[in-house]
Amino acid sequence: MRVIDFFAQNPRKLLLIDAIGAIFSLLLLQLLKGYLGMPYSVVNYLTVIAACLFLISATCFVAYAYKPLFFLLLGVGNTLYCLSTLALLCINYPIITSLGIAYFVIEVIIISLLVYIEIGVYNFLCKQ
């Protein structure tokens, strides 16, 4: 069974993973803030986006809301988070630590995989 098929049949699990991932990003950003090399204002900006994505996915999880629009919203939100992160990484590259580069690149890779699944689930739910 493909990953997208699994989550299309179990959308609540995808919402839970998204919520856990967002809160994990939020916490890691705050815990590692002083070690990433990214300006604190930028880290706080990324933290606010992660908090918003957490609220959306957690609300959908708790409310059993599986409408395709919610998965599209999460996919677009996560994509914008990744693009913002990459842009901010490029802009601030000279001051980013090795840990910061590793953290942000790994985070973007993981979230990009999640976006792929969310858009796949969105497409599946639209066909029903």
Rounded Cα distance between 119 and 116, Å, is 5
Range of the domain at 19: 8-127
Under DSSP, the state recorded for 69 is: H
Number of compact structural domains in the chain: 1
Q: How far is CA 114 from CA 44, 82, 93, 98, 119, in A?
A: 22, 11, 25, 24, 9
What share of the chain has pLDDT > 70, as a percent? 99
Average pLDDT of the chain?
96
In a domain, 16, yes or no: yes
What is the pTM assigned to this prediction? 0.93
- Residue 35 · residue 7 · CB < 8 Å: no
Q: What pLDDT, on the 0 to 100 scale, is given for residue 66?
A: 86
List of residues 6+ apart from 43 with CB closer than 8 A? 29, 30, 33, 36
In a domain, 2, yes or no: no
In a domain, 3, yes or no: no
In a domain, 76, yes or no: yes
- 25-55 pLDDT, tens digit per residue, is 999 999 999 999 999 999 999 999 999 999 9
- Residue 95 · residue 43 · CB < 8 Å: no
In a domain, 1, yes or no: no
Q: What pLDDT, on the 0 to 100 scale, is given for residue 65?
A: 84
In a domain, 74, yes or no: yes
- Cβ-in-10-Å burial (0-12, 13-18, 19+) of 113 comes to exposed
